């Protein structure tokens, strides 16, 4: 498998807990989702693992991602934390393990946690490894440590209102794939006049247009939903082909509106 075999369409589980996440993943798997995204900090790895186990979908058919939390980035903690994630997920290996955020205030050097993550891959705990919320500077450091080919993706916030162009350009130039999280900007795309107009022309929803826009740029998308109709509708976005004019109209919606910006976030590009 080449490093770019992250399924383009995934199911995000951020903010979903308990029975809610079990139901969302179960419905998603039933509808045909095969890429499931979780993280240590979401506090739902065990429920995600349960939903997957109960689904009877063969493990080989699935692509499961988890992310290592900032408290587990040190050399001595990263691998034990990933082993704990695997126990919760009821798996011997995840398909993709990401560093969730760079070390807050760069207390730990990128080299330390990227080496530990590479070691986790070597030990077979993850089939692929990657990064999330890495700035251009952090990406450069990661590339120096493990090389471009070892970085399967950088998972970052991308939607029509935050297009992250500078970072996207750097990633493209360096052959690093991007996964767009919050691709629907928490539902804000549904109220946008431009997206609604384009959606009308295609007979689809504004959410589907926003997802098609990300997919057309080569990004993977991991929208989340608890509603069956939305889970189904999101998946249909892969069939939409936007024209150059439509892509350009959406390009104009960029307003640098960042929704995921915790106090420990890095200095964004």
Inter-residue contact 139 to 170 (CB < 8 Å):
yes
Q: What angle do helix axes 228-235 and 18-31 make, rounded to 10 degrees?
A: 40
Describe the strand order of the beta sheet including 126-132 as a list of residue ranges: 11-12, 35-37, 63-68, 94-99, 126-132, 151-157, 178-181, 220-221
The tokens for 21 are 């996440």
181 is catalytic: no
Sequence-distant (6+) residues with CB within 8 A of 8 are: 215, 219, 220, 221, 238
How far apart, in Å, are the Cα atoms of 97 and each of 57, 145, 252?
A: 21, 16, 34
- Alpha carbons 39 and 10: distance in angstroms, whole number: 14
- Alpha carbons 52 and 65: distance in angstroms, whole number: 13
Measured in whole angstroms, how far is the alpha carbon of residue 51 from the centre of its chain? 19
- Alpha carbons 42 and 65: distance in angstroms, whole number: 12
Helices (H) and strands (E) in the chain, counts: 10, 8
User: Of 42, 113, 181, 186, which residue is the catalytic one?
Assistant: 42
User: What is the CB neighbour count within 10 angstroms for residue 178?
Assistant: 21
DSSP state, residue 157: E
Residues serving a catalytic function are 42
């Amino acid at each position: 498998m080449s490093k770019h075999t992250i399924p383009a369409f995934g199911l995000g589980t951020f903010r979903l807990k308990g029975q809610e996440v079990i139901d969302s993943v179960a419905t998603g798997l039933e509808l045909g989702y095969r890429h499931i995204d979780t993280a240590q900090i979401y506090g739902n790895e065990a429920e995600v693992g349960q939903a997957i186990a109960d689904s009877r979908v063969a493990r080989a058919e699935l692509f499961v991602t988890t992310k290592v939390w900032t408290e587990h980035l040190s050399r001595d903690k990263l691998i034990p934390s990933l082993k704990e994630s695997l126990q919760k997920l009821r798996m011997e290996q995840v398909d993709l393990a990401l560093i969730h955020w760079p070390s807050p205030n760069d207390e730990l050097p990128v080299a330390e946690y990227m080496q530990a993550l590479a070691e986790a891959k070597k030990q077979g705990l993850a089939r692929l490894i990657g990064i999330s919320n890495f700035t251009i500077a952090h990406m450069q450091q990661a590339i120096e440590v493990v090389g471009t080919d070892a970085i399967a993706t950088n998972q970052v916030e991308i939607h029509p209102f935050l297009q992250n162009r500078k970072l996207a350009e750097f990633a493209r130039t360096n052959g690093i794939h991007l996964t767009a999280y919050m691709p629907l900007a928490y539902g804000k795309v549904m109220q946008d006049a431009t997206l609604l107009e384009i959606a009308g022309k295609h007979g689809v929803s504004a959410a589907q247009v926003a997802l098609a826009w990300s997919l057309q740029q080569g990004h993977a998308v991991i929208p989340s939903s608890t509603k069956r109709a939305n889970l189904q509708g999101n998946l249909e976005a892969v069939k939409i082909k936007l024209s150059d004019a439509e892509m350009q109209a959406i390009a104009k919606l960029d307003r640098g509106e960042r929704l995921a910006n915790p106090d420990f976030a890095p200095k964004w590009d």
